[in-house]
Amino acid sequence: MIKGIFGRLLLSSLAVILITVIILLFLLSYVYTSFYTSEKEKRLIKAGKEINSLTETYLERNIPKKELTKEIKGIAHRYNSEISIFPVEADKQQVNQSLEAFTSHLTEDYFTEQDINKVLKGKTVSKITSEPKINLMSVAVPLTINGKVVGGVSLHSPMYDVAAASIQLRRLSAIVIILAALIATILTYFLSKYFSRPLQDMSRVASKIAKGDFSGSVTVKSKDELGALAQSFNHMAGQLAKAEKMRKDFIANISHELRTPISFISGVLQGIDDKAFNPQEEKKYVSLSIKEIERVNGLINDMLELSRIEHGDIKLELQKVDLQELILEILAEKEPQFLKKDLRPELNFTGKTYVLADPYRIKQVILNLVGNAIKFSPPKSAIIIGIKKDLSEATVWIKDFGPGIAKEEQEYIWDRFYKIDKTRKREEGGAGLGLAITKMLVEAHKGSIGVKSELGQGSTFYFTLPLWRNEK
């Protein structure tokens, strides 16, 4: 049983070739037979007209009867036929006396009275009669003298030549078609190999992927649909490899983020149970444990939030939002953090800018970006927040003068758990989920987000939102 793509392609192609060959043989046989039958009919009609011309000349007493007999017998031999002449009733006596040697029962044997009447009216009649051993073609043409029909000439010829020619041509056609079929089969074999190879490669790579090996890829040589499929498959394999890496990184990161606080809390509880701390130390460690629990709780909330956004489980309450007012509200909330590092906010916008957004979610986006700017800004520096708009959207940008981000790292900062500064303390650095959530929230609003940064020159984060319809 053929199960592979190659085998199925080969068998399907061979089946098509076989069916085509059989149909061609039947068609060619029919065409050849029809052609030779038609040619034989034309030749017999031509012979009948020759006899008519000779008979007309004879009846006008221009040639002797002996010569007429010789010519008609020659025609009969040349066309391999028996000839019979039949007169009309009015001229029967004259014709019988003159052409009695050529009258016979053949006409009545193979033509009906209706056929004979058609001939006597000036029409040509032909038919094929099936005999026990061979088919017989009979043709009857009018016999005319001075334009008047005085009888008819019938010719009866076996179709041996037609059958022989058809058989010979069928044999030649069969040989040619079989050779063509063999060549087509060989070509089909190699073409099936060629077309099935990418599919076989995909099957092989897919099997490796199913076992967790993402290193394989399909070789792309063509630019047709199979080539496009192979490229899509390679892209899919790459995405799966990336997803698997992200999964492993996620497990490693979440394990790291949870292991430290859990170990710390476990150690504190064990110390309290062992009465290893004095009251002052116990109060201090309990306070630190509460902070670690809050961090873990925040991490869990961030992961749940990320999961809900990814699966489209959040419902945006889109409405008219004043970006200027929202930013001023956020700066008021963040004022203690600005004061703590002696940072100064600078605003770069004038007038009102209204966007179509969910105010709670966009506030979450700006809070995260401003929080990051505060976190990475050196003391006594500025943080610039600006708004600009065009015909269809508004852009919010936040610039800090911190250490900046290397170009090779900028594309990864939106990945979950990614941290630029791996040496920062846990309580300062966060879990690395904020920018991932921020990016998804902006994209949920049909906006875009990006960063421009150079090492030592700070970073500018920006995102776009569609304008409120009356603002366009």
Model confidence at 435: pLDDT above 80: yes
449-453 sheet: strands from edge to edge? 344-348, 382-389, 393-400, 459-466, 449-453
pLDDT band at 350 (very low <50, low <70, confident <90, very high): confident
* pLDDT mean over 451-457: 89
What secondary structure letter does DSSP report for 403?
Answer: S
Whether the predicted model's global pTM rises above the 0.75 cut? no
**High-pLDDT (> 70) share of the chain, %:** 82
Model confidence at 216: pLDDT above 60: yes
Instruction: Determine the angle formed by the axes of helices 359-376 and 434-444, rounding to 10 degrees.
Output: 150
Query: CA nearest 136: which of 115, 154, 119, 118?
Result: 154
Per-residue pLDDT tens for 176-206? 777 877 887 787 777 777 766 777 777 777 7
* pLDDT mean over 302-319: 74
* pLDDT mean over 74-87: 80
Query: CA nearest 28: which of 166, 135, 128?
Result: 166
* pLDDT mean over 50-71: 78
- Give the distance from CA 325 to its chain's centroid: 51
Amino acid code (one letter) for 204: R
pLDDT at 96: 47
Model confidence at 398: pLDDT above 60: yes
Neighbour tally for 430: CB within 10 Å: 21
**What is the residue-averaged pLDDT of the chain?**
79
DSSP assignment of 315-341 equals ----EEEEHHHHHHHHHHHTHHHHHHT
Which has the higher per-residue pLDDT, 398 or 26? 398
pLDDT at 419: 64
pLDDT at 395: 92
Per-residue pLDDT tens for 159-173? 777 777 777 777 777
Neighbour tally for 234: CB within 10 Å: 17
User: Measured between alpha carbons, how far is residue 34 from residues 28, 41, 79, 166, 417 in Å?
Assistant: 10, 10, 19, 9, 83
Which has the higher per-residue pLDDT, 302 or 348? 348
Return the SS3 of 153.
strand
pLDDT band at 460 (very low <50, low <70, confident <90, very high): very high
Model confidence at 454: pLDDT above 80: yes
pLDDT at 256: 66
Model confidence at 233: pLDDT above 80: no
Backbone dihedral angles phi then psi of residue 216, each to the nearest 5 degrees: -80, 160
Range among 88-92, 151-155, 191-195 rated most confident: 151-155
First CA to last CA distance, the chain: 66
Cα–Cα dist 361/149, whole Å: 107
What is the per-residue burial (b if ≥16 Cβ within 10 Å, else e) of 458-472? bbbbbbbbbbbeebe
* pLDDT mean over 242-258: 71
Per DSSP (E only), the strands in 240-381 are: 319-322, 344-348, 354-357
What is the per-residue burial (b if ≥16 Cβ within 10 Å, else e) of 363-386? bbbbebbbebbbbbbeeeeebbbb
Backbone dihedral angles phi then psi of residue 154, each to the nearest 5 degrees: -115, 140
pLDDT at 421: 54
Model confidence at 385: pLDDT above 90: yes
Residue 79 in tokens? 């066309």
Cβ contacts of 208 within 8 Å, gap of 6 or more: 214, 215, 216
User: Measured between alpha carbons, how far is residue 335 from residues 117, 330, 338, 344, 377 in Å?
Assistant: 121, 9, 5, 9, 15
